[in-house]
Amino acid sequence: MPRTMPVPSHGRSVVIAVGKAAAAMMQVAQARTPKGHAIEGLVVTRHGHLPETPPENVELIEAGHPYPDDNSIRAAHRALEIAHGLSAGDRLLVLLSGGGSALLAAPAPGLDLADKQAITRALLQSGATIEEINCVRKHLSAIKGGRLAVAAGAAAVTTWIISDIPGDDPSFVSSGPTVADHTDLASAREILAKYRIDPPASVARALADPANETPPADSLGLAGGETVVIARARDALAAAGQHAASLGYHVTNLGDNIQAEARHLGAGHAALARRLAKDGKPRAIISGGEATVTVVNKAGRGGRNLEYLLSLAIALDGAPGISALACDTDGIDGTEDAAGAIVTPSTLARAAAAGLDPAAHLARNDAYLFFQALGDLVITGPTLTNVNDFRAILIRAEPGER
C-alpha cells in the first residue's frame, strides 16, 4: 500500500475494508493516515479472520464465506448506508481483497438470502471459474458491479485491491463493488446454461429483469477516484521463485493465471515434473491462479488444492525425488480448516499401508480425509491476506534414480 493514505483537503475520510485481508489492510491504513486526519471505518471479514488485536476505532463485522449469511446482508447494508451519507469533498477509500463477494450480500429486489446461498452453492460446485461466478453474483446484487461507488455519489472514491483473481481484473475482485462492470445479464444467463444450473424461479426472474443490469461506468463518479491493484499472485510467485533460485533450484514459473479442473491440472503437472526430472537437476515448478472442482459428491470433504494434490500424487505414482505443496494463501482451502497439503514420494505407499484408496477418495471429492489420515495437511489458520492458490513442485532426482 502507498506510504500515506489519500485524504481530502476538507470533508470526511472514510475507509471500508472488505475481504479476508480486510483487518490487516485497515490496520495499515490507520498507521499511514497523516497526523491530524481522523478516519472513520468499517471492516468486513470472514468469521475468524480478525487478528488477535483487531483494528481500533472502526466498526467490525464478521460474516459468512464461501456462503453469505445474515451478517453478510447486514454488512452490505451498512456499507451502502455509509456511502449514501457521503458528500462532495468527502473521500471514500475502499480496501478490497478476496472473499468480499460472499461477505457483502445485498440481494437484488425480489431475492432473499436463501436465493443467494442456493445460487452460490450451485456455482461453486459446478466447476465454473471465479470470473463466471462473480458475473452472476453482480447481476443479483444491490452492491456489487460498481453499485457501492454509485451510492457514494459526488464523493471521491479510491479503491486499492489485493487481487485473488487470475489475470487481476479489478472488476472481479469481491465482484467489484466500486469498479465498472463489463459483463451483462445475458452473460450471466449463459453461464447458468453452460453449467446446466437450474436456478430458483426468483433468480431466473432477476436475471431477466433489465433493472438488474450493472450501472454504466459514467455513473460511478470515477472522475475523482482511482482503482489500483497493490498486490497480486505474480508478486508471491516472483518472491518464491527468487528464493528457490537462491537455494540452487532451476525455476519453472507456470504463471498465476491458471484456471483448470483441479484433478486434470494435477495430472498434467505430474507429467511435466516427470519430464523435467530426467536431467537430474534440482528444479522448482511454481504456479498460481485458481483451479476449479466439479463436485459429484456433495457430502465430500476437500478443496481445489487438495484435489489437485491427490491427482498429482496418483499420477506421480511414487516417483523418487519429487515432492509438492499446494495451498490457498488465505489459509483456507474450500470450506475446511486446512490451507492445503503436501505430497512426497512416500505418499501412495503410506496410503496403501493405511488402507486408503487414493482413486476412490478422488472420485468422491474426499481429498481432505485422505490427507488428514496421512497427517499431511497444512494447517496455518487465517493468514489475513489472499492472493489465491500457490503450488510448488520440488524435484531433487539424481541421475540413476529414474
pLDDT given at position 397? 56
pLDDT given at position 287? 98
Q: Are residues 376 and 386 in the same domain?
A: yes
Does residue 58 fall inside a structural domain?
A: yes
pLDDT given at position 223? 41
Does residue 203 fall inside a structural domain?
A: no
pLDDT given at position 2? 64
Q: Are residues 162 and 288 in the same domain?
A: no
Does residue 204 fall inside a structural domain?
A: no
Give the β-pairing of 283-289 and 250-253: parallel
Q: Are residues 33 and 167 in the same domain?
A: yes
Residue that is last in its domain, among 231, 262, 294: 231
Residue that is last in its domain, among 172, 204, 231: 231
Backbone φ, ψ for residue 363 (5° rounding): -65, -30
Which grid coordinates are listed for 275? 519430464
Q: Are residues 24 and 93 in the same domain?
A: yes
Segments forming the whole domain that contains residue 168: 13-106+141-180+215-231
The domain tally of the chain equals 2
Closest CA to 104 of 36, 166, 178: 178
Does residue 132 fall inside a structural domain?
A: no
Q: Are residues 220 and 293 in the same domain?
A: no
Q: Are residues 221 and 247 in the same domain?
A: no
pLDDT given at position 380? 96
Q: Are residues 219 and 238 in the same domain?
A: no
Does residue 298 fall inside a structural domain?
A: yes
Does residue 112 fall inside a structural domain?
A: no
pLDDT given at position 400? 40
pLDDT given at position 14? 96
Does residue 145 fall inside a structural domain?
A: yes
Low-confidence residues of the chain, pLDDT below 50?
222-224, 399-402
Q: Are residues 256 and 290 in the same domain?
A: yes
pLDDT in tens, 199-255: 999 999 999 999 999 998 887 764 446 899 999 999 999 999 999 999 999 999 999
pLDDT given at position 34? 87
- Domain CATH code at residue 168: 3.40.50.10180
pLDDT given at position 279? 92
Give the N- to C-terminal CA distance of the chain in Å, as an integer.
Answer: 47
Closest CA to 225 of 8, 2, 387, 1: 8
Q: Are residues 281 and 374 in the same domain?
A: yes
Does residue 50 fall inside a structural domain?
A: yes
Backbone φ, ψ for residue 329 (5° rounding): -65, -10
Q: Are residues 176 and 309 in the same domain?
A: no
Query: CA angle at residue 398 from 397 to 400, to 5 degrees?
Result: 115
The pTM of the full predicted model, rounded to 2 decimals, is 0.91
Q: Are residues 77 and 53 in the same domain?
A: yes
| Cα–Cα dist 266/325, whole Å | 11
- Domain CATH code at residue 324: 3.40.1480.10
Q: Are residues 345 and 329 in the same domain?
A: yes
